[in-house]
Structure 1
Amino acid sequence: MMLRSLRSAVATTASLAAVGGAMAVMAAPSAAMADEGMWTFDNFPVQTVNQKYGTHLDQAWLDRLRLASVRISGCSASFVSPEGLILTNWHCVVGCSQELSNPQQDYVKNGFTARTREEELRCPGQTAEVLTEIVDVTARVQAAGQGLEGAAFNAARQAEITKIQNEACAGDDTFSCQVISLYRGGQYSLHKFRKYDDVRLVFAPENQAAFFGGDPDNFNFPRYALDAGFLRAYEDGKPAETPTFLKWNPEAPKEGDVTFVSGNPGSTSRLLTMSQLERLRDQQLPVTLIQNSELRGRLLEYSLTGDEAKRVSFDPVFGLENSFKVYYGQQAALTDPEFMAAKRAEEDELRAKVAADPNLVQQIGDPWADLARVQTTATELYLPYRQLEASAGGGSQLYAWARTLIRAAKNPTMTEAQRARLSEAVGAETPVSTDMEEIRMRYWLSKTREYLTVDNPQVKAMLGRESPEALADRLISGTKLTDPAFRRQAVGMTVEQLSAADPLLAFVAGNDQAARAIADRWAAEVNAPTARAAEKVAQARFAVYGTNQYPDATFSLRLSYGDVRGWTYRGVTVPAFTYMGGLYERATGSEPFNLAQAFADNESKVNKEVVYDFASTNDIIGGNSGSPVVNADGEVIGAAFDGNIHSIGGAYGYDPELNRTVSVSTAAITEALRNVYPNPRVLEELGVR
Structure 2
Amino acid sequence: MRRYVTTAALLAGAATIAMPAAAKEGMYTPDQLPEIAADLRETGLEISPEALSDLTGFPMGAIVSLGGCSASFVSPEGLVVTNHHCARGSVQYNSTAENNYLENGFLAETKDAELQAAPGSRIYVTVAESDVTERMREGTERLSPNARYDTIEQRMKDITAECEQDAGYRCLVASFYGGDQYKLIKRLEVRDVRLVYAPADSIGKYGGDIDNWMWPRHTGDFSFYRAYVAPDGSAADYSPNNVPFKPEHHLKVSRAGLEDGDFVMAAGYPGSTSRYATLTEVENTFGWQYPMMVTMLNEWIDTIEETAPEGSDARVKYESRLAGLNNYEKNLRGQIEGARRVGLIDRRRIRERSLADWIAQDRSRAQYGRAVRDLQALSAESAAAAREDYLYNYATNSQMLGTAQRLYRLAKERQKPDAQRDPGFQERDMTFFRQGLQALDRRYDPAVDKAEWMLFLDQYLDQPANGRVAVLDRALGLTGNVDRAALSQRLDTYYAQTDLDSAEQRLALMNATPAQLEASGDPFMKLAVALYDYERGLETESEARAGRMLAVRPTYMEAITDWQRSQGVVTYPDANSTLRVTYGKVLGGVPRDGMAYLPFTTLEGILEKDTGEDPFNAPAKQLEEIRQRDYGPYKLDSIGSVPVNFLSDLDSTGGNSGSATLNSRAELVGLLFDGTFESVNSDWDFDPKTTRTIHVDTRYMLWVMDKVDGADALIEEMDIVD
TM-score, structure 2 length as denominator? 0.86
Superposed CA offset, 1:570-599 (max 9, x none) = 244321111122211322334432323442
Closer, same or farther: CA 393–66 of 1 in aligned 2, 3 Å: farther
Q: Over residues 502-557 of structure 1, what are the superposed CA-to-partner deviations in whole Å (9 max), with x where a residue is unaligned?
A: 33222212212111211211221x32223322111111122223382111111221
Residue in 1 that maps onto 2:313: 308
Give the alignment partner of residue 59 of structure 1, picking from 42, 50, 68: 50
Deviation at 1:410, TM superposition (A): 0.4
For 2:298 and 2:696, the matched residues in 1 are separated by 30
Determine if contact 1:79/1:87 at 8 Å carries over to the other structure: yes
Which of these residues, 90, 94, 114, is aligned with residue 96 of structure 1? 90
Q: 1:507 aligns with which of 502, 519, 527?
A: 527
Q: Is the partner of 1:629 in helix, strand or coil?
A: strand
* Contact 1:252–1:611 (Cα < 8 Å) also in 2: no
2:602–2:643 contact (8 Å) kept in structure 1: yes
Partner of 2:233: none
Q: What is residue 49 of structure 1 aligned with on the other side?
A: 40
Question: 2:334·2:681 contact (CA, 8 Å) conserved in 1?
Answer: yes
Mapping of 1:263-412 within 5 angstroms?
Answer: 263-304=268-309, 307-336=312-341, 338-361=343-366, 363-388=367-392, 393-394=396-397, 396-411=398-413, 412=415
Residue in 2 that maps onto 1:576: 599
* 8 Å Cα contact 2:603-2:642 kept in structure 1: yes
Q: Structure 1 stretch 289-298 or stretch 302-311: which is displaced more? A: 302-311
With 398-407 and 531-540 compared, the bigger mean Cα shift is at: 398-407
Using a 3 Å threshold, how does the CA distance of structure 1 residues 417 and 308 change in structure 2: closer, same or farther? closer
- The within-5 A match list for 1:593-608 is 593-600=616-623, 602-603=625-626, 604=628, 606-607=630-631
Shift of 1:230: 0.6
Q: 1:368-410, CA deviations, whole angstroms, 9 ceiling, x for partnerless residues? A: 2212222332233214434445x5643x443333222111110
1:645 aligns with 2:636: no
For 1:382 and 1:114, locate their aligned partners in 2 and report how far apart those are by CA, in whole Å.
Answer: 47
Q: Deviations over 1:434-485 (max 9, x none)?
A: 2332223323333333447485313313312585533433333333233332
Q: Please report how far the alpha carbon of residue 685 of structure 1 lies from its aligned counterpart in structure 2 after TM superposition.
A: 1.0
* SS of the residue 2:253 aligns to: coil
SS of equivalent to 1:410: helix
Partners of 2:304 and 2:412 in 1: CA distance: 34
Distance 1:54 1:65 in 2: 13
Which of 29, 35, 42 is residue 40 of structure 1 equivalent to?
29
Q: Residues 393 and 210 of structure 1: is their aligned pair in 2 closer, same or farther, counting only changes over 3 Å?
A: farther
Q: Does 1:138 align with 2:133?
A: yes
Structure 1 equivalent of residue 564 of structure 2: 545
**Equivalent residue for 2:473?**
460
- Matched residue SS, 2:103: helix
Cα distance in 2 between the residues matched to 1:422 and 1:311: 23
What's the CA shift for 1:115?
1.1
Mean alpha-carbon deviation: is it higher for 587-596 or for 527-536? 587-596
Instruction: Determine the structure 1 residue equivalent to 2:554.
Output: 535
What runs of 5+ residues in structure 2 fail to find an aligned partner? Answer: 1-16, 231-241, 419-425, 636-640
Larger relative contact order (Cα-Cα within 8 Å, sequence gap ≥ 6): 1
Instruction: State the AA in 2 paired with 1:461.
Output: R
- Residues in 2 aligned to 1:58 and 1:421: alpha-carbon distance in whole angstroms: 39
Amino acid at match of 1:494: T
Contact 1:448 1:459 (8 Å CA) reproduced: no
Q: Which residue in 2 is equivalent to 1:442? A: 454
User: What is the TM-score of this pair, normalised by structure 1?
Assistant: 0.90
Q: Which residue of 2 aligns with 1:626?
A: 658
**Following TM superposition, by how much is the alpha carbon of 1:227 offset from its aligned partner in structure 2, in angstroms?**
0.7
Q: How far apart in 2 are the matches of 1:423 and 1:522?
A: 24
Distance across 1 between alignment mates of 2:507 and 2:316: 28
Q: Which deviates further from its counterpart, 476-485 or 241-250?
A: 476-485
Q: Per the alignment, in what secondary structure is the counterpart of residue 366 of structure 1?
A: helix
Residue pair 1:446, 1:468 contacting (<8 A) in 2 also: no
Give the aligned partner of residue 565 of structure 1. 587
1:107-158 deviation per Cα after TM superposition (whole angstroms, max 9, x unaligned): 1111111111111111121111122222122222222522123211111111
Query: CA 1:306 to 1:579, structure 2 compared with 1: closer, same or farther past 3 Å?
Result: closer
Note if contact 2:45-2:664 (Cα within 8 Å) is conserved in structure 1: no
Match of 2:254 in 1: 249
**Counterpart residue identity of residue 677, structure 1:** D
Kindly indicate whether residue 588 of structure 2 is the aligned counterpart of residue 556 of structure 1: no
3-state DSSP of counterpart to 2:31: helix
Equivalent position of 1:126 in the other structure: 121
- Over 3 Å counting, the alpha-carbon distance change for 1:144 and 1:600 in structure 2 is farther
Is the Cα–Cα contact under 8 Å of residues 259 and 629 in structure 1 kept in the other structure? yes
User: What CA distance in whole angstroms lies between the structure 1 residues aligned with 2:577 and 2:390?
Assistant: 22
Alpha-carbon distance change, 555 to 402 in structure 1, aligned in 2, over 3 angstroms? same
- How far is the alpha carbon of 1:647 from its aligned partner? 0.6
Shift of 1:328: 1.6
Cα distance in 1 for residues equivalent to 2:77 and 2:317: 32
Contact 1:122 1:199 in 2 (8 A): yes
After the TM superposition, which residues 117-266 of structure 1 pair with which residues of structure 2 at under 5 Å, given as runs?
117-123=111-117, 124-170=119-165, 172-236=166-230, 237-266=242-271
Secondary structure, counterpart of 1:231 in structure 2: strand
CA contact (8 A) 1:388 1:514 kept: no
3-state SS of 1:640 partner: strand
- Tell me the secondary structure at the aligned position of residue 550 of structure 1: coil
Quote the offset at 1:335 in angstroms. Answer: 3.9
1:79 corresponds to 2:84:
no
Moved more, 642-651 or 465-474: 465-474
1:486 aligns with 2:505: yes
Could you tell me whether the CA contact under 8 Å between 1:567 and 1:574 is conserved in 2?
yes
CA displacement at 1:301 relative to structure 2:
1.6
CA contact (8 A) 2:672 2:693 kept: yes
Mapped to 1, the partners of 2:257 and 2:395 lie a distance apart of 46
CA distance in 2, matches of 1:417, 1:298: 37
Taking structure 1 as reference, are residues 673 and 482 closer, same or farther at Cα in structure 2, changes over 3 Å only? Answer: same
Contact residue 81 and residue 223 of structure 2 kept, 8 A: yes
Contact 1:35 1:618 in 2 (8 A): yes
The CA distance in 1 between the partners of 2:243 and 2:454, in whole Å, is 44
Is the 2:253–2:668 Cα contact (8 Å) retained in structure 1?
yes
Per mean C-alpha deviation after superposition, the further-off stretch among 367-376 and 486-495 is 367-376
1:610 correspondence with 2:642: yes
Q: What SS does structure 2 have at the residue aligned with 1:573? A: strand
Structure 2 Cα separation of the partners of residues 598 and 357 of structure 1: 69
> Residue by residue, what CA displacement relative to the aligned partner does 1:410-439 show, whole Å, maximum 9, x if unpaired?
012354954853664345354132233222
8 Å CA contact retained: 2:264, 2:663:
yes
Give the structure 2 partner of residue 14 of structure 1. none
Cα distance in 2 for residues equivalent to 1:168 and 1:419:
15
